[in-house]
Structure formats: structure tokens, C-alpha cells
Amino acid sequence: MHIMEGYLPPLHAALWTAAAAPFVTVGIRRIVRTIEAHPETKLLLAASGAFAFVLSALKIPSVTGSCSHATGVGLGAMLFGPSAMAVLGSIVLLFQALLLAHGGITTLGANVFSMAIVGPWVAYGVFRLMRGVGSGHGFAVFMAAVLGDLCTYGTTSVQLALAFPDPVSGVAGALAKFLGIFAVTQIPLAVVEGLLTVVIVNLLVQNSRDDLRALSFTPTPREAAE
């Protein structure tokens, strides 16, 4: 994703920014409450943002005006909730736009909506759902990271299709084309992100169990054995 600077029509850019703003506002309040209740998790919160920054900075050109890369937002969403990740993701995207020319300021709202809102909410929902039905903890983490990544790119495809419909087949035709092109690079990237997220979570379980317990993330003995 990371739609480049000036690529979206001004109206589209403004609408996506307006759509993202409430989520970021709620996320700020969520982070404040979390830090007040569990100040010991501040380092883990910062590490979640750094994880997203590093993974999403490793980009591969995919389609005109955009690129493919892992997102890294699933980890923070599972640990702190999707609202907190809306803020961390916005900070990540802003710094990348300013320092790496990765994305843009006018397209920041659209990029935030796809990577910092849709991706985290999907990852969080999948993780909670799979834990609720008795799935193993590691497999739940893997699927959450994979689907959060893929849905981020699905949202970016929708954004690009709405802005640049196909002259013949319209928005639906453009959406099919964008999804098809993204799939070539994004499906293997999503699988890699899922595996890496599982590795990171396993390390956290071994070395930061107290912090994870404060966030109600520590797997039960049964889940850890699966």
C-alpha cells in the first residue's frame, strides 16, 4: 500500500482522512488509559510501533502509485487492541512519508485507513475469534497477522479502484486488476509476516510474560501446548 504523494484526487484524499480521524482520536484515549493502568508496558508499546515501522519500510514496487510490503500491525493490534494501533500506525506512516518518501502527506489518511485501521481490526478480530473457538495460540497469531496484512491490501485496492475506475468495466474491473497484481507479491509477504509474528510472540512469551499477563495476552497452558 503506501499510496504515493499526490496520487489520489483531492476529494478522495480528504474523505479517507475524515474517515480515519475518529479511529485515531479513540486510539489516543485508549493508549493513555493503557499506560495509566499498566505503565510497565510502555516499552512493549514502543516495540510494537518499531516492529510495524521496520516491516512496512521494506517495500517492493507493485502497481503504479503504490508498493507491496509487510505491515507489522498485527502484533500491536493483538497486544494492545486495534484502537492503539491506529495511533502507532499513523505515527509510522507519517515518519515514513517525511523521512523515507514512502507514502505521502495528502494520502496519509488513506494509508492510515488501510494499514492502521482495517489491518489491525481484522488481525484483532481474527485472533480473538480463533482463540474463542479453541485454536492454538501460535496458529491464531499466524492467521491474524496474515489476514490483517491481506485485508490492508484489499482496502488499498478498493481505494485505488474508486479513484481510478476502469474505462470499460468500471470500479469492479479496476478492483479485480489491482487485487490480482497485489496478490503476486502480497500473498507470500503475508505468509512471511505471519511466521515472523509467531516468532516474535514466542520470544515475548519467554521473556516478557509479566507484561503480556498485564495485557491479558499470555496463552493458557493448553494453548501453549497446541
The predicted-structure confidence for 70-81, as pLDDT tens digits, reads as follows 899 999 999 999
Residue 5 lies in a domain: no
101 pLDDT band (50/70/90 cuts)?
confident
Residue 2 lies in a domain: no
Is it the case that residue 64 has pLDDT exceeding 80?
no
Residue 41 lies in a domain: yes
Residue 112 lies in a domain: yes
Residue 4 lies in a domain: no
Is it the case that residue 55 has pLDDT exceeding 60?
yes
Query: How many structural domains is the chain composed of?
Result: 1
Q: Tell me what the mean pLDDT of segment 163-189 comes to.
A: 92
211 pLDDT band (50/70/90 cuts)?
confident
Q: Read off the pTM.
A: 0.90
Residue 78 CB partners (closer than 8 Å, separation 6+)? 123, 124, 127, 141, 144, 201, 217
End-to-end C-alpha distance for the chain, whole angstroms = 34
Residue 163 lies in a domain: yes
Q: Considering Cα of 72, then 78, then 82, then 87, what sign does the dihedral take?
A: negative
SS3 204: helix
Bigger pLDDT: 62 vs 217: 217
Domain span at residue 88? 10-225
144 pLDDT band (50/70/90 cuts)?
very high
Residue 3 lies in a domain: no
Identity of the residue numbered 32: V
The CATH number of whichever domain residue 185 belongs to comes to 1.10.1760.20
